[in-house]
Structure 1
Amino acid sequence: MSVEPIEPVAPAKKAEPHPLLKLVLELGPLLVFFFANSRGEWLASTFPMLADLGDPIFIATGLFMVATAVSLTVSWLLLRTVPMMPLISGVVVFIFGALTLYLQNETFIKMKPTIVNTMFGAILLGGLYFGKSLLGYVFDSAFKLDSEGWRKLTLRWGVFFLFLAVLNEVVWRAFSTDFWVAFKVWGTMPITIAFTMAQMPLIMRHSLEPKEQTVEKAMEKPTEG
């Protein structure tokens, strides 16, 4: 039985935003979530309408949804497109955020990273099973790698997404809400950045582009919120 070769799948090249703007759009909602949770009581007393949402975690959830909507809107207005990963993550934020507020149950927003990371992990590993590397679509990437490079990188990211899903489950179930919120911003983000940088040797070995251009693109990879 012959094995079909891995076919890299990448989207058409399009204009990229300034790296600083891209960072703000991706990290902005997370920072709003962290600030609102840590200063929830102050926000409730300063803006009485927010007090109706409930405890700080619910205020943070509501503002997180607003910040996510603003981020996606700005991305669309500037680029006339929304990258796949932030779009899917945003949809899950709206659904689980709404359930969190309506049912006054913080479990839903805590499970959001688990759902998103499991989804992306399953997409990447499922694509490999059918002989396709879907990493380009998930990361809105314009990398030019050979087939072996796409296969190896897709496998690594698929496993890493599943690792993040398990890690989120462990943290929110074993620690306090405040710890989980802080870890979501100051723990998951550095881990993802470190993992991204650790893939540079693989990317450089299999890249079909000049070294400088490859490094620049690798530094612009998005992270899940």
Structure 2
Amino acid sequence: MAERKVSGGLKLLLELGPVAAFFIGYVKLKGEVFTFGGVDYDGFIVVTAAFIPLMLVCTGILWALTGKLSKMQVMTVVLVVVFGGLSVWLNDERFFKMKPTMIYTLFATILGFGLWRGESYLKTLMGEVLPMEQAGWIILTKRLALFFAALAVLNEIVWRGFSTEAWVNFKTFGLTAALFLFFMTQSRIFAKYGIEKPDEEA
């Protein structure tokens, strides 16, 4: 299926909407206990159970509109289903809390494997929208691989050492802000190694 353009606002809504809904749902249901089939589930598990199909629906809509999903998007959805499903099935929130660790570890490993082969898989994903010399991609990929590894360790520290509420805030705001700040601080690489796109005008 050929890739199609979709408005930036709609794309952002489909990508971040489920995360925002998870946070709002948790805030409203934290401390609550719900009984299904004679088993008690706290608000976190109930919100997780709702988050999984919402994530699948939004990702499916995004795929239907654009005709394409990145490998990272696919892997993220798979891990959400696997670890979120385990949390709901076993009534144990720890599995869902481990999900960011698994995602960032996987991303760091994939980028690291590419670097070991002398390649930048990040360039494969972003090269068309962000033209840059190979040396710049290698530097950025090294930094991002280390950054993902650090986020994986940080997630383990937060979910194991702090409350569920602290982890939800960290996941919703902390991780998002950290990714934003990381790319903001890489402006020198973009300025030094960036390649200007040729004018498409005839």
User: How big is each residue's C-alpha offset from its partner over 1:154-198, in whole Å with a ceiling of 9 and x where there is no partner?
Assistant: 111111111111111011011101110111111111111111111
Which of 22, 25, 31 in structure 1 is aligned with 2:14?
Answer: 25
1:56 partner letter: G
Alignment partner, residue 200 of structure 1: 187
**Counterpart Cα distance in 1 of 2:30 and 2:131:** 49
Structure 1 residue 150 displacement after superposition: 0.8
1:99–1:126 Cα change, 3 Å: same
Shift in alpha-carbon separation, 1:29–1:139, aligned structure 2, 3 A: farther
Give TM-score scaled by structure 1 length.
0.79
Gaps of 5+ in 2: 198-202
Cα contact 2:115–2:142 (8 A) shared by 1: yes
Letter of the 1:24 partner, please give it: L
Deviation at 1:202, TM superposition (A): 0.6
In the aligned structure 2, how far is the partner of 1:77 from the partner of 1:43?
36
Q: 1:97 to 1:136 in 2, by over 3 A?
A: same
User: Does the 8 Å contact 1:93/1:109 carry over to 2?
Assistant: yes
Give 1:99's match in structure 2, choosing from 86, 89, 106: 86
Task: Give 1:69 deviation, angstroms.
Answer: 0.6
Take 1:43 and 1:17, find their aligned partners in 2: how far apart are those partners?
A: 39
Secondary structure, counterpart of 1:166 in structure 2 = helix
1:217 maps to none
- 1:176-187 matches, cutoff 5 A: 176-187=163-174
- Residue number in structure 1 paired with 2:63: 76
Question: Which structure is richer in relative contact order (CA contacts within 8 A, separation 6 or more)?
Answer: 1
Structure 1 distance, partners of 2:79, 2:98, is: 10
Residue equivalent to 2:103: 116
User: Cα deviations across residues 66-115 of structure 1 (Å, max 9, x unaligned)?
Assistant: 22111211111101111221211010000111110111111100000000
Let me know the Cα RMSD of the aligned residues. Answer: 2.5
8 Å Cα contact 1:34-1:185 kept in structure 2: yes
Task: State how far apart, in whole Å, the 1-side matches of 2:19 and 2:84 are.
Answer: 14
Distance 1:101 1:125 in 2: 32
Write the distance in 1 (CA, Å) between the matches of 2:87 and 2:177: 27
Question: Quick one: distance in 2 between partners of 1:173 and 1:93?
Answer: 19
Contact 1:171 1:180 survives alignment (8 Å)? yes
- Are the counterparts in 2 of residues 96 and 112 from structure 1 also a CA contact under 8 Å? yes
CA distance in 2, matches of 1:141, 1:113: 27
1:20-99 pair list within 5 angstroms: 20-40=9-29, 54-99=41-86
Secondary structure (helix, strand or coil) at the match of 1:105 reads coil
Calculate percent identity across the aligned residue pairs: 34
- Secondary structure (helix, strand or coil) at the match of 1:27 reads helix
**Alignment match, 2:142:** 155
d(CA) in 2 for partners of 1:77 and 1:14? 10
Taking structure 2 as the reference length, the TM-score comes to: 0.87
The 3 A distance-change label for structure 1 pair 41 and 199 is closer
